């Protein structure tokens, strides 16, 4: 059963409990499809992480990346497959970076300051930006900085987790930079 059929079935069930217009049902169904697609991608990457013996590391990477991504946005793939492959690539780069390239504590202030500048200039980057008020944009920027700050504090306090926390942040910050017709 694919995510679209699950979303339709769930919407039909919800509609029996609390009837909605056809337009509202389409919006709810679309939201459910996106939620299910993302849950499947995250679970598959987590499963791959467990299989290769990096389950905890994978969880840290996904929390770091997704936590900042939810607030800051970033470029988007054209398809769900492209998104899934992009997330897998971010995971792989983060795992390999953590194994082979230590991020020394001296680099933390530079990463933090540059990340804040990028967030202030480019976040949020989303295909739905036309629906955001200036207050929504400011809130997303502030939330991005809060998430970034929490990750940076954790990276400072737990050096053994630094790469797992910061490689996905660096990759997410880079995804705020390019301008394209999909962001």
pLDDT by residue (tens digit) across 57-113? 999 999 999 999 999 998 888 888 898 999 999 999 999 999 999 999 999 999 999
Residues 114 and 24 grouped into a single domain: no
pTM as predicted? 0.86
Residues 181 and 91 grouped into a single domain: yes
Residues 45 and 64 grouped into a single domain: no
Look at residue 1 and give its three-state secondary structure. coil
Contacts of 69 (CB under 8 A, 6+ apart): 172
Give me the residue label for tokens 């490689």: 167
Q: How confident is the model at residue 181 (pLDDT cuts 50, 70, 90)?
A: very low
Q: How confident is the model at residue 183 (pLDDT cuts 50, 70, 90)?
A: very low
Residues 71 and 144 grouped into a single domain: yes
Q: How many domains does the chain have?
A: 2
Across 8-22, 88-102, 134-148, least confident range:
8-22
Domain extent, residue 66, equals 55-183
- Which of these three, 51, 68, 87, is where a domain ends? 51
Q: How far apart are the first and last CA of the chain?
A: 30
């Amino acid at each position: 059963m694919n995510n679209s059929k699950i979303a339709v079935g769930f919407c039909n069930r919800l509609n029996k409990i609390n009837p909605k217009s056809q337009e509202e049902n389409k919006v709810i169904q679309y939201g459910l499809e996106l939620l299910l697609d993302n849950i499947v991608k995250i679970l598959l990457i987590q499963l791959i992480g467990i299989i290769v013996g990096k389950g905890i590391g994978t969880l840290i990477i996904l929390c770091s990346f997704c936590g900042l991504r939810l607030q800051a946005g970033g470029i988007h793939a054209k398809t769900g497959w492209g998104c899934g492959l992009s997330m897998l690539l971010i995971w792989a780069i983060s795992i390999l970076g953590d194994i082979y390239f230590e991020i020394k504590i001296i680099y933390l202030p530079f990463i933090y300051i540059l990340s804040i500048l990028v967030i202030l200039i480019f976040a949020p980057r989303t295909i739905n930006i036309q629906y955001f008020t200036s207050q929504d944009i400011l809130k997303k920027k502030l939330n991005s900085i809060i998430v970034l700050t929490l990750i940076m504090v954790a990276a400072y306090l737990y050096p053994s987790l630094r790469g797992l926390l910061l490689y996905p942040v660096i990759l997410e910050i880079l995804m705020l930079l390019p301008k394209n017709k999909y962001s």
